[in-house]
A and B are shown apart, each in its own frame.
Chain A
């Protein structure tokens, strides 16, 4: 582009070269993009080909065991169900409540700004640090011990920022005219929120919550720290039972010396974990589509 006084021949070779470079770049960029898909494929294939033979109903029914052929995921699956349900029950109302406060109640003052910045920063705190928080407060200070309740409270704190941010986005997308109409006929603030804004925002809130809960299912580090670590062979019976969860069980199996655990049971456990996550995510997508079509 620098040579203004160049001859027509020079210009045309230059243009050709630039066009060539552009088309090579297109191929390079496309292959970089498809690298993700390639990596995903290799990962799934590696795990699928190793774990497939170990998948059986017994794997889901049996408790953990030191003998590979008897070992199963039952205890871990139940632990995951207990911890995650309790996490959802704790985090969902608090998260939605906080989002409603920030979007519908708080004036744009200093306090709400501090809360907002704080939530954004909490979302960036490494999950293992939440584990240390849970260990310090729930396990030691409140002396709950290494039980389901302590794990669920920790996971609830971890999931809250994501639930709040997703719910805020859903609330923000509700048109202002809806609120004004409700206020116009004399509804109070809570009536506006309860009867008009929340129902309209609910699909978005629910989708965000399910996605954040499904991320919690795959979280390993915080639960390792608050004590899901030991070899647990008895099924949990209540909030105060010792427990283990799916990803922690996979972690333990990966670390065992016997090859069957590392090369068979661990990938089989990963397949179960991925199926659970895929199920949750598809559920969220179906839910969202169902609600949006009904709203239209």
Chain B
């Protein structure tokens, strides 16, 4: 505080001096307010920037390849010199396979872990188990990718499925599933714990066992939170990049066979930027068209997830 506070102004002039001082204080206050607002508004500009950059290049791309052919084409061969085709469905199929198969791993295991941690575990057991799950969430995705390529495929899958390819969707999906498992577990656990105690006690009072209370009372009551967690996890799995580019390979093909290599949308982006690509080429522009599609899909899923939380939340008071 730079200006001295007079207990009682001796003269009018002294009072005016004090007020002038605080007027200076007010204008610098105003300036600080504007700077802080600028920091916050930067985030809006980030979003506008993302959309503008993706749209600008994508529109240039769609001037050369029709948007219909892009969205419905089943051939994705951008690297072929003579027969360049840009039908995005094989990439979408790859991404969808990874999304669905990873959830086969993450949903049951994550939900079971959440039920155990919220309903069964004593606080001591919880305090031991939870940090480990947190550790799993902190591992960089490149490490999971390496793990999928050099352990899950050759050591885990090869002995069981002998004709599995070196690069395959299944190993990538398992690794992505393990990666998003902590997220499903901790978000679901949060919503299970938010269910009020009285609901459980009512069920116990009717003679229900712990399993019955958990699966027939607590899980249904927390369902909106669980669904939101799962949708967020799918969105994360779809945007996951390093695991799929290391483990799932770079063959863009439309197949339902998880033993084969399938390129995902994110995998294509990494494949192209890892090579030499010049600005202005059709492949360069296709990066942004695929990026735009990825952005839209994940944005829609995130919005659905938020909507689920706000729309179906049981309000306990």
Give the CA-CA distance A97 to B32 in the complex, in Å.
Answer: 10
Question: B22-50 toward A: CB 8 Å interface, digit per residue (1/0)?
Answer: 00011011001101111111111011011
> Within the complex, which residue of A36, A112, A119 is in contact with B181, where a contact is CB–CB below 8 Å?
A36
B134 CB to closest chain A CB (Å) equals 9
Interface window among A55-63, A173-181, A218-226, A232-240: A218-226
A118 CB to closest chain B CB (Å) equals 5
A136 adjacent to B147 (CB under 8 Å): no
Interface window among B70-78, B205-213, B217-225, B254-262: B205-213
B28 CB to closest chain A CB (Å) equals 8
B60 CB to closest chain A CB (Å) equals 12
B146: interface (CB < 8 Å): yes
A40: interface (CB < 8 Å): yes
A277 adjacent to B54 (CB under 8 Å): no
Q: Which residues of A contact B26 (CB under 8 A)?
A: 188
A191: interface (CB < 8 Å): yes
Contacts A30-B116, A250-B142 given; indicate if A129 touches B50 (C-beta within 8 A).
Answer: yes
B63: interface (CB < 8 Å): no
B57: interface (CB < 8 Å): yes
A97 adjacent to B35 (CB under 8 Å): yes
B125 CB to closest chain A CB (Å) equals 9
Give the CA-CA distance A148 to B185 in the complex, in Å.
Answer: 37
Interface of A is mostly: helix
B138 CB to closest chain A CB (Å) equals 7
Give the CA-CA distance A1 to B295 in the complex, in Å.
Answer: 50
> Within the complex, which residue of B29, B210, B288, B294 is in contact with A126, where a contact is CB–CB below 8 Å?
B294
> Within the complex, which residue of B39, B274, B288 is in contact with A229, where a contact is CB–CB below 8 Å?
B274
Interface residues contributed by chain B, number (CB under 8 Å):
87
B98: interface (CB < 8 Å): no
> Within the complex, which residue of B129, B149, B273 is in contact with A254, where a contact is CB–CB below 8 Å?
B149
A86: interface (CB < 8 Å): no
Q: Across the two chains, which residue of chain A brings its CB closest to B114? A: A33
> Within the complex, which residue of A25, A94, A270 is in contact with B42, where a contact is CB–CB below 8 Å?
A94
Q: Which residues of B contact A270 (CB under 8 A)?
A: 142-143, 146
B141 adjacent to A36 (CB under 8 Å): no
Contacts A118-B43, A266-B146 given; indicate if A220 touches B133 (C-beta within 8 A).
Answer: no
B232: interface (CB < 8 Å): yes
B149 adjacent to A124 (CB under 8 Å): no
Q: Which residues of B contact A101 (CB under 8 A)?
A: 33, 36-37, 39-40
Q: Across the two chains, which residue of chain A brings its CB closest to B144? A: A43
Give the CA-CA distance A20 to B132 in the complex, in Å.
Answer: 29
A277 adjacent to B138 (CB under 8 Å): yes
Give the CA-CA distance A227 to B1 in the complex, in Å.
Answer: 49
Residues of chain A in range 15-59 having any CB-CB distance to chain B below 8 Å: 18-19, 21-22, 25-26, 28-30, 32-37, 39-40, 42-43, 46-47, 50
Q: Which residues of A contact B65 (CB under 8 A)?
A: none
B187: interface (CB < 8 Å): no
Give the CA-CA distance A141 to B116 in the complex, in Å.
Answer: 51
Q: Which residues of B contact A33 (CB under 8 A)?
A: 112-113, 116-117, 121, 129, 133, 185
B151 adjacent to A46 (CB under 8 Å): yes
Interface window among B6-14, B86-94, B194-202, B235-243: B235-243
A129 adjacent to B294 (CB under 8 Å): yes
B66 CB to closest chain A CB (Å) equals 22
Residues of chain B in range 108-149 having any CB-CB distance to chain A below 8 Å: 108-109, 112-113, 115-117, 120-121, 129, 132-133, 135-136, 138-147, 149
Interface residues contributed by chain A, number (CB under 8 Å):
91
B270: interface (CB < 8 Å): yes
A22 adjacent to B54 (CB under 8 Å): no
> Within the complex, which residue of A119, A127, A255, A267 is in contact with B241, where a contact is CB–CB below 8 Å?
A127
Give the CA-CA distance A135 to B114 in the complex, in Å.
Answer: 39
Q: Which residues of A contact B235 (CB under 8 A)?
A: 124
A160: interface (CB < 8 Å): yes
Residues of chain A in range 123-166 having any CB-CB distance to chain B below 8 Å: 124-133, 135-137, 140-141, 157, 160-161, 164
Q: Which residues of B contact A28 (CB under 8 A)?
A: 112
A245 CB to closest chain B CB (Å) equals 11
B279: interface (CB < 8 Å): yes
Q: Which residues of A contact B306 (CB under 8 A)?
A: 120
B298: interface (CB < 8 Å): yes
A160 adjacent to B211 (CB under 8 Å): no
Question: A93-130 toward B: CB 8 Å interface, digit per residue (1/0)?
Answer: 11101101110011000001011001111101111111
Can you list 8 A-B pairs, Cβ within 8 angstroms, ordered by A? A26-B210, A36-B132, A43-B144, A47-B146, A126-B238, A218-B139, A220-B241, A274-B143
Residues of A near any B CB (own CB < 8 A): 1, 18-19, 21-22, 25-26, 28-30, 32-37, 39-40, 42-43, 46-47, 50, 93-95, 97-98, 100-102, 105-106, 112, 114-115, 118-122, 124-133, 135-137, 140-141, 157, 160-161, 164, 186-191, 214-215, 217-221, 224-225, 227, 229, 247, 250-251, 254-255, 262-263, 266-267, 270, 273-274, 277, 281
Residues of B near any A CB (own CB < 8 A): 1, 5, 25-26, 28-29, 32-33, 35-44, 46-47, 49-50, 53-54, 56-57, 108-109, 112-113, 115-117, 120-121, 129, 132-133, 135-136, 138-147, 149-151, 178, 181-182, 185, 207, 209-212, 232, 235-236, 238-242, 246, 266, 269-270, 273-274, 279, 287-288, 291, 294-295, 298-299, 302-303, 306
Known contacts A128-B294, A266-B146, then 8 further A-B pairs from the complex at CB < 8 Å, ordered by chain A residue: A22-B211, A33-B133, A114-B44, A119-B43, A124-B236, A218-B140, A218-B143, A247-B142
